Structure 1
Amino acid sequence: MAEGQLSRRTLLEIGVAGSLALLTGCSRPGPRLVARRGDLPERWLRRLPSDWQVRWLEGATKVREAVGDSAERRPALVQLSDGWATDLPLNAWASLDQPALLRRLTAGARPVSRLYGGPEQPPVAFPWSFNPWVLVLRDRPDLAVRASRGWELLLDESLAGRVVLPSSPRVVMALVGNDPERLCRLRRQALAHDDRQGLQLLLSGPARAAVLPRQQVVPLLRRDPRLTVLLPDEGAPASWSLILRPAGSAVAPPAAWLEAVLQPPLLPRVLAAGWVPPLPRAALTTALAGFPPAVARLLLPEEAVLDRCRDLPPLDADQRRRLQELWDGTTPCQQRP
């Protein structure tokens, strides 16, 4: 064989190697969205572009850790609550570059889109759902008729040792306006501090009342007549569900997918699952047409009640110290007589 010519065997070997390289290139993973299992509506995920992958992790801590992965492993987008997202410095996040999308949201979503940074801070988060804590009662119509008492219902003597409270001390303190005497009484009522398993304790355990994120309980209201859900007139602490883009991500967020959660046909389905995007009232009212009135009122309370629902932005060192002292000072209250 003359120099420079290739044998048939060599050509075949090159062909096989080339095919393998092509297959490897085709199997290269696309951009990834990372979230804690259960933190995104399934119907919304079905609309994610086909080249995207979803990676479920067990716990928000794992999602937060994924943001610090090496460049080739780092997700293109993550879903976190505002509490977890603000645990990382602002420079951990890249700008979303979605001004038209964010303009569709209410003014109340603007601070959290900047992760509570100043007006000069560019938006780094898409706040796609607002989630206040609610009071859930099981088989207690006698308490439900006294709904005007709001969070004070949790202090009723008949609920001693029957209340499931949030895991977060800050949320528990916010329920009683950081009042030491009421906080002491509330902690004495607790069966457990567990918002992840709280619903199960309420449905089939000894609990008769629980403080839970609204989204967890809305899907149950149509099929479990034992439950009464109250969003007190005095408002409630609340959290936000956020889509964020980790710094260094070279992949543009899928704008059409993000926008889909804000409009029909997906919006009514997302609302039925308990997720409430921060849209103008008229848009939500239209989407809630046909919902049972009690469910619609829970998902879209009166404007005055919504105005009294409170974000929980990051604390400075002095604020953390004072809340820690308040919590530590009421710890002995958990010992019931």
Structure 2
Amino acid sequence: MQADPRPLSCSMSRRRLLQLSALAGLGLVGGCGRNSAVQLVYGRGELPAAWAKRLPDPWRAMPVDGPAAVLSAHAAALVQLGDGWLDAREATDWQPFVSAGSPAAAELWEGLAPEAQPLSRLFRPEPAAPLAYPWAFGTWLLVLRNRRDLVARAAEGWSLLLDPSLRGELLLPSSPRLVIDLALRQLGLPPGDRASLGDLRLGDQLSRLRRQAAAFDDRDGLNLLLSGRVEAAVLPSQRVLPLLRSDTRLTALLPASGSALWWNLLLRPAQTREVPPLRWLLQAREMPLLNRLLAAGWVPPLRRELLAAALSSWPPAVAALLYPQPAVLARCTSLPPLAEDQRRQLQSLWDRSGS
């Protein structure tokens, strides 16, 4: 998963990072013999190799180091981004993913789960045209290492993060917005309701949660967990699920209250004339490639019945982490880009909780 820069000033601002990348002059012009290649530019590790290798000519998958570099790749005909980077650009920087009303459009959008529809419009209201193709999604999981005592208390949900034994043994996401989301769920408050941020209990709850953390690091969190430097971490499902069958030290929990959702998207820059490779996009929904994607933790956001056969080959507990049960998925929420006043409100809450 890409590092999620969900706002707040805990690190360099995203727009400043993009400016610096632009100054670096990244162009991604094809090399000798590849000047005619059509580029799909993606963050390294953010597009499954088994899928990328199937791109038809003249398409080429071009890995770069991170989302800022993706956004600076001016030669790209398609780009891959996580949803946390959507507000780094305006909607006018993208064009409709496929032409409205065409047979290609009907085929591409057929089968997408309802949760994926707002992402395809970049959260613009209907009847806005789809600007993005959501090709993978998942949840954030509580991952425990050799803590069967806490696994036995799984019904406590996200409140397990406050267990005294995890003080200094817990890794939380690097995004303040995601940590605030966890605090809201601990209080039973709906994260998607702006009124929840005004709850008088939230500041203290967030402070308690932050004091538990050894660090805020989801990029290297799995390595720290595997090495035994911490005993628990909140991590995106894609990084965790491939290990659950082979590493018996790890247990992953998705509380009944759900989690924030992460999304992986493909977008079509406004300046390109290239049409996305439709047949290639649809292959990710079909066997045997679909099984390989699921094994790597990449779950296409399709309607449940369309994934039922593929999920049936997994142990039920793991299948429920790949594609949550309906009641749990209904409590999971996507995180749309923030308006400026919302950003200030969250920043103020975060700053106060750390004092």
Measured against the shorter chain, the TM-score band is 0.7 to 0.9
CA 1:28–1:61 in 2, change beyond 3 Å: closer, same or farther? closer
- Residue type at the aligned position of 1:244: L
Does the Cα contact within 8 Å between 2:138 and 2:322 map onto a contact in 1?
no
Secondary structure of the structure 1 residue equivalent to 2:267: strand
- Residue type at the aligned position of 1:65: S
Give the gaps of 5 or more residues in structure 1: 1-23, 333-337
Q: Are residue 198 (structure 1) and residue 224 (structure 2) matched?
A: no
Q: Are residue 266 (structure 1) and residue 289 (structure 2) matched?
A: yes
* Greater mean deviation of Cα atoms: 266-275 or 207-216: 266-275
Secondary structure of the structure 1 residue equivalent to 2:344: helix
d(CA) in 2 for partners of 1:174 and 1:326? Answer: 12
How many angstroms does 1:95 deviate by? 0.7
How high is the TM-score relative to the length of structure 2? 0.83
How many angstroms does 1:27 deviate by? 4.3
Does the Cα contact within 8 Å between 1:37 and 1:59 map onto a contact in 2?
yes
How high is the TM-score relative to the length of structure 1? 0.87
Residue 44 of structure 1 is matched in structure 2 by: 51
Q: Are residue 303 (structure 1) and residue 326 (structure 2) matched?
A: yes
Residue 99 of structure 1 is matched in structure 2 by: 106
Identify the match of residue 243 of structure 1 among 266, 269, 277.
Answer: 266
Secondary structure of the structure 2 residue equivalent to 1:62: helix
- Residue type at the aligned position of 1:313: P
How many angstroms does 1:77 deviate by? 0.5
Residue 77 of structure 2 is matched in structure 1 by: 76
Deviations 1:250-273 (A, max 9, x none): 111000011111122211211111
Residue 280 of structure 1 is matched in structure 2 by: 303
Deviations 1:122-176 (A, max 9, x none): 1010101112111100000000011111111010000001111111100010011
* Greater mean deviation of Cα atoms: 85-94 or 155-164: 85-94
Identify the match of residue 231 of structure 2 among 208, 228, 246.
Answer: 208
d(CA) in 2 for partners of 1:58 and 1:290? Answer: 34
Q: Are residue 63 (structure 1) and residue 49 (structure 2) matched?
A: no
Q: Size of the alignment, in residue pairs?
A: 303
d(CA) in 2 for partners of 1:196 and 1:113? Answer: 26
Q: Could you tell me the percent identity over the aligned residues?
A: 50
- Residue type at the aligned position of 2:51: W
Structure having the higher Rg:
1
Does the Cα contact within 8 Å between 2:238 and 2:297 map onto a contact in 1?
yes
Residue 189 of structure 2 is matched in structure 1 by: none
Secondary structure of the structure 2 residue equivalent to 1:176: helix
Secondary structure of the structure 2 residue equivalent to 1:78: strand
d(CA) in 2 for partners of 1:92 and 1:99? Answer: 23
Give the gaps of 5 or more residues in structure 2: 1-30, 99-104, 185-196
Q: Are residue 89 (structure 1) and residue 83 (structure 2) matched?
A: no
Deviations 1:22-48 (A, max 9, x none): xx9964231001111110111111211
Residue 134 of structure 2 is matched in structure 1 by: 127
CA 1:27–1:229 in 2, change beyond 3 Å: closer, same or farther? closer
How many angstroms does 1:300 deviate by? 2.1
Deviations 1:190-223 (A, max 9, x none): 1111111000111104210001000000110111
d(CA) in 2 for partners of 1:132 and 1:309? Answer: 8
Does the Cα contact within 8 Å between 1:64 and 1:85 map onto a contact in 2?
no
- Residue type at the aligned position of 1:288: L
Does the Cα contact within 8 Å between 2:38 and 2:77 map onto a contact in 1?
yes
Q: Are residue 224 (structure 1) and residue 247 (structure 2) matched?
A: yes
How many angstroms does 1:321 deviate by? 1.2
d(CA) in 2 for partners of 1:113 and 1:78? Answer: 14
Identify the match of residue 159 of structure 1 among 143, 161, 166.
Answer: 166
d(CA) in 2 for partners of 1:86 and 1:277? Answer: 23
d(CA) in 2 for partners of 1:252 and 1:163? Answer: 45
d(CA) in 1 for partners of 2:115 and 2:314? Answer: 25
Does the Cα contact within 8 Å between 1:94 and 1:124 map onto a contact in 2?
yes
d(CA) in 1 for partners of 2:72 and 2:212? Answer: 35
